[in-house]
Structure 1
Amino acid sequence: MDDGIKESLLYSKKKNGSELKDKIWEEGKKLWKIAAPTIVTRVSGFGILVVTQAYIGHIGEIELASFSIVQSIIMRFVDGILLGVGSSLPTVCGQAFGAGKYHMMGIYLQQSWIILLTASLFMLPAFIFTTPILRFLGEEEELTKHAGKLSLWFLPLFFYQLIGITTQTFLQAQLKIMIVGWASAISFVLSMILSRLMVDRLSWGVSGAMGAMNLSFLLILLTQFIYIFGGWCKDSWNGFSKSAFNELWPFLKLSISSGVMLCFEFWNGAVLVLLVGNMKNAQIVVSAFSICLNINAWVYMVSLGFLSAASVRVANELGKGDAKAAKFTIKLNLSISLTIGVIFSILALVYGKSISFLFTSSIEVAKEVSSLSVLLASIILLNSVQAALSGVAIGCGRQSLVACVNIFCYYVVGFPLGMYLGYVINLQVRGIWAGMICGTATQTLILMFITWRTDWDAQVGKTMTRFNRSILPSSEEVSSDITSHA
């Protein structure tokens, strides 16, 4: 081969390699700009719950079991609905931001509030009638009485979730989530200070721990309100508008499919806790298993950062009409998520036993946690990939399809297999959890196949059709139109 041709090919390869590195670097910065503050927000917010659980765990085993069962069953039940219904917001806000229709984002936020506030009326009884609900589900009598008293302390957290999740999504879609990250980090530190003061110094027990938790979440919510209503979102927030009641039905349909998509995923953990609660030594088993779930959930907050990044970046690129950019961000997001998942899985295997002492002083509970470390590492790894793929689905508005996948994987595959391994094979809690993990593995494989087979050019067309149908003109466009007609 001629030397000139060789040099030309070598130069071309170097140039392509350099362009790819630049492309990865630029897209990586965009992903981390969304993911990093979102991770800080999620980890800090969940960290407040972990701090509260840790202080309650050192008060007593029955108190820890009560907190765990309310958080894992009642709160997980309502969180599934709130997060599910609210997950339609990243789709529409991300696409609006990508298309430059910033005024629509405020309308979408208000529509989400209308739907969630209406839904909250049907969820309040879960907190008021916790004791009879748990008694009906077959939980121990002493546990149900303590849980019933504790559940009322979760009501402020419930309303924080209702409003806070949507405002965070609203800010996240326009790359303004850093303020929430700072507020969450400060609130996490505040929760530790207040918990030490109210529990250790003032000896207020469970009331002190729960009061510290609620005050910490209140600070985050107030910060978001001040930022949005104080003029820092002037392009996307133009005040409350009657337009929020226009085109409410299409938004409600997307919200319902989003709710089904995430509800069955979140309720998966509640089903596990219910099954474990009916086994022998329920207090020890529930406490140990809830610690594992909380460790997994805390790590999952990192995965949720990349879920958010995937949903925002995919929605942005589809809103712009760039299918190639959407595919590239998906590949990069999955690579980063998988790498982080592997790291945390290894940490779970190495430190599975020692980390349990953050939540409890019981040697028996710590031993039970240690015996579940392999399963904990497995679910952490699977969730790192599954979360990124779910974010892709949210970004392109395919919640209905993923809802069907979730129902099949969790309740046709995972739940029956878990029952068989746990009760028939008699593997107890390890068998139940192993079965549900198989459901998550099936879900991850199906989502990977769906993402791989997606025609992203067709998705751009669908996005444009759906998005343009719901667009309301901005005040500037209306003024311009009036002037031109005059």
Structure 2
Amino acid sequence: MADYKQPLLPPATKDQYDHADQLLIPSNGAGDIPPIRNIRDFSREFLAESAKLWFLAGPAIFTSICQYSLGAVTQVFAGHVGTLELAAVSVENSVIAGFSLGTMMGMGSALETLCGQAYGAGQLDMLGVYLQRSWVILLATSSLLSLMYIFAAPFLLVIGQTASISRAAGVFSIWMLPQLFAYAMNSPMAKFLQAQSKMAVMAGIAAAALAFHAAFSWLLMLKLGWGLAGAAVVLNASWWFINASQLVYIVGGSCGRAWSGFTWKAFHNLWGFVRLSLASAVMVCLEIWYFMVLILFAGYLKDAEVAVAALSICMNILGWTIMAAFGMNAAISVRISNELGAGHPRTAKFALIVSVISAFMVGVALALVLIFTKEYYPSLFSNNLAVKQVVTDMTSLLALCIVINNVQPVLSGVAIGAGWQAAVAYVNIGCYYLFGIPLGLILGYKFHMGITVSIISFLNLK
């Protein structure tokens, strides 16, 4: 496809399109849900759409939580090694790896639009081409990002981190270079499999990787005393285990026409693909990088090691809950792109309504669990009494943030499925960087609210 500006859709004449929907989608396509006129119609369609959505969202949420837990489990064990080690892993995970993961996820999300709509339109042979095209672009991007890993220590010093944290995080970053290239391979494969609703196999692989990761992290980091070196070995190995397993599944013939082998077509129309990938990257990265900025600001506060460690625990918890929303994000993106590709605009709109309601209910449930366990969960992350007390004090704000933040990734999934990445990027710039960060700086430093301001600013920008 030469032009990546418009979503990929099945052939149709101009007068078949419903311009009121602001998308090039055929109106009244066969298979679209009928108009909803009363509560009975709504209830019937809500249950039907919920079944489809959770068939995708359940395994996607589980996969997201397992993959996020790889870094989170490493932080948990690092907290039991020492406060400096926890701060170092947190800074590397949030700043260096977070920047790179945001870039890879963002650029890879272009496949959610292209593969999802191609699958819905029945153009299965294009999925493998898009996958390989994305690999080429993301591996090239990873080569550039590797400089950030190599020079992480001086970079962190320049932006104001303490010498001890910068030095430890810099060494750990160099050890984590293999993970960078694992991100580049993983993100396209995940979108490729998601577009075909092959969530279960991803969930199984992620679960096996997490079990392997937890066992060997305990063995190397605590039992054998390898510390940060052990963390790097296990974390790199876990990500490449996921990649190898998914690649074997894809090339082994389980994807049918979607994978017909490696092809030189992957190098055609790269610039058009890069444009959509960059728009996708900006949309996703602006949100993920906000977490990185919060961790950096904590490093400027008094008693930086405690501040960074406490905030990293809160961001870790928030990240786990956001994984549930990201799983819903993946599911709704698949639903929207597939339905638009098949020419079902009403079904796509109704899927949005169902996903928002479901995400809000999940957020409330997670927030209640956090509030009821606020006296206990900080001990899972650290032995430091000061760190645990700060985390306990911030739990109420963190719970409110979880409820509000659980809906936003779902809306982003709709934008990705419809191909609206560029427009949402402008919204994210305004919310996060023109409003949220300045608010955080004013409250944190002028009014001396410390790291509590990180959660407050995150709430206000939503």
- Superposition TM-score, scaled by structure 2 size: 0.89
User: Distance between the aligned counterparts of 1:412 and 1:216, measured in 2?
Assistant: 37
Q: Select between 160-169 and 191-200 the one with higher mean Cα deviation.
A: 191-200
- 1:339 correspondence with 2:367: no
Equivalence for 2:440: 418
How far apart are the structure 2 equivalents of 1:285 and 1:353? 19
The partner residue of 2:213 within 148, 168, 191 is 191
Aligned equivalent of 2:288: 266
State the 1:20 CA deviation. Answer: 4.3
Of the three residues 105, 110, 122, the one matched with 2:127 is 105
Whole-angstrom distance in 2 between the partners of 1:247 and 1:201: 51
Report the equivalent of 1:277: 299
* CA drift at 1:71: 0.8
Offset at residue 17 of structure 1 (A): 5.8
1:91 corresponds to 2:107: no
1:50-65 to 2 correspondence within 5 Å?
50-65=72-87
Amino acid in structure 1 at the alignment position of 2:451: V
Separation of aligned partners in 1, 2:259 and 2:87: 43
User: Which secondary structure does the structure 1 equivalent of 2:283 belong to?
Assistant: helix
1:114 aligns with 2:136: yes
CA-CA distance at 1:19 after TM superposition: 5.2
Alignment of 1:341-360 (within 5 A): 341-360=363-382
C-alpha separation in 2, matches of 1:196 and 1:73: 24
Higher helix share: 1
> CA RMSD of the aligned region, Å?
1.5
Q: Distance in 2 between matches of 1:125 and 1:314?
A: 37
Equivalent residue for 1:79, pick from 101, 115, 137: 101
Q: Contact 1:91 / 1:397 at 8 angstroms: preserved in 2?
A: yes
- Counterparts of residues 62-461 of structure 1 (less than 5 Å): 62-439=84-461, 441=462
Match of 2:21 in 1: none
Secondary structure at the aligned position of 1:184 is classed as helix
Name the structure 2 match of 1:9: none
Q: Which one of the candidate residues 35, 39, 59 is aligned to 1:37? A: 59
Deviations, residues 131-182 of structure 1 (Å, cap 9, x unaligned): 1001101111111111111112222222221111110110011011211100
Alpha-carbon offset, residue 202 of structure 1: 2.5
Q: Which residue of 2 aligns with 1:469?
A: none
Q: Does the 8 A contact of 2:111 with 2:130 survive in 1?
A: yes
Q: Match for 2:279: what amino acid?
A: S
Question: Aligned AA for 1:175?
Answer: S
- Opposite residue 170 of structure 1, the aligned amino acid is F
CA contact (8 A) 1:310 1:391 kept: yes
Whole-angstrom distance in 2 between the partners of 1:332 and 1:430? 33
Take 1:163 and 1:379, find their aligned partners in 2: how far apart are those partners? 32
Does the C-alpha gap of structure 1 residues 143 and 17 become closer, same or farther in structure 2, counting only changes over 3 Å? Answer: closer
Partners of 1:401 and 1:352 in 2: CA distance: 38
- Bigger Rg, structure 1 or 2: 1
> Residues 68-106 of structure 1: CA distance to partner in whole angstroms, max 9, x if unpaired?
111111111111211111111101111001001001111
For residues 267-286 of structure 1, the C-alpha deviation after alignment (integer angstroms, 9 at most, x for no partner) is: 11111111110110000010
Task: Give the letter aligned to residue 302 of structure 2.
Answer: K
> Equivalents in 2 of 1:200, 1:146: separation in Å?
18
Alpha carbons of structure 1 residues 179 and 107: separation in structure 2 relative to 1, 3 Å: same
Could you tell me the TM-score, scaled by structure 1's length? 0.85
Aligned partner of 2:8 in structure 1 is none
Q: What residue is the counterpart of 2:19 in the other structure?
A: none
Aligned amino acid, residue 81 of structure 1: T
Identify unmatched segments of 5+ residues in structure 1: 1-14, 442-486
Q: CA deviation at 1:50?
A: 1.8
Q: Is the 8 A contact 2:335 2:348 kept in 1?
A: yes
Provide the rounded CA distance (Å) in 1 between the counterparts of 2:211 and 2:333: 29
Counterpart code for 1:108: Y
Quote the Cα distance in structure 2 between the aligned partners of 1:376 and 1:157: 29
> How far, CA to CA, are the matches of 1:221 and 1:173 in structure 2?
17
Residue type at the aligned position of 2:229 = S
Contact 1:318 1:326 in 2 (8 A): yes
Following TM superposition, the consecutive aligned residue runs of length 4 or more in structure 1 with deviations greater than 3 angstroms are: 15-22
> Which amino acid is the alignment partner of residue 95 of structure 1?
Q
Deviation at 1:18, TM superposition (A): 5.7
**Superposed displacement of residue 215, structure 1:** 2.1
The 2-side partners of 1:156 and 1:147 are apart by 16
Residue ranges of structure 2 left out of the alignment (5+ in a row): 1-36
Provide the C-alpha distance between the structure 2 equivalents of 1:247 and 1:195, rounded to a whole number of angstroms.
43
**Hey, what's the Cα distance between the residues in 2 that align with 1:427 and 1:53?**
25
Residue-pair matches, total: 426
